[in-house]
Amino acid sequence: LFFSYFKDLVGREVTVELKNDLAIRGTLHSVDQYLNIKLENTRVVDQDKYPHMLSVRNCFIRGSVVRYVQLPPEEVDIELLHDATRREAR
């Protein structure tokens, strides 16, 4: 379910927070069945705390290290999501 959900979000700007507290903002480029995420136009939210990523513009994030993905609320169609979840649950 979430794979297809993320597929619909490709091209949107999201913020991914990882389990090590690193928060990264970028445009969702692609996603796969493991929910690995590829982001473009990457920038770290709190730049000064994490200087290592200054020159990184595209990145690949392993699905297992994502704590959460922050989405713009206007992208979320609640009814559609509810229906899809009910369908999945059956």
Partner 1 sequence: MSRIGHDDSFLYTSLATYLGKKLVVLLGDGRHRLGLLRSFDQFASIVLEGACERVIVGDLYCDIPLGLNIIRRENVVLLGEMDMEKEELPSHMTAVSTVEIKRAQKAERDATYLKGSMKNIMEFLGID
The site for partner 1 (CB under 8 A) is made up of: 7, 10, 18, 20, 22, 24, 30-33, 36-38, 42, 51-62, 64-65
The nearer residue to partner 1, 59 or 71, going by C-beta atoms, is: 59
Give the tokens for residue 72.
């713009």
As a dihedral over the C-alpha atoms of residue 18, residue 23, residue 27, residue 32, rounded to 10 degrees, the angle is 0
- Four-CA torsion 72, 77, 83, 88, nearest 10 degrees: -30
- Beta carbon of residue 64, minimum distance to partner 1 (angstroms, whole number): 8
State the minimum distance, in angstroms, from the CB of residue 54 to partner 1: 6
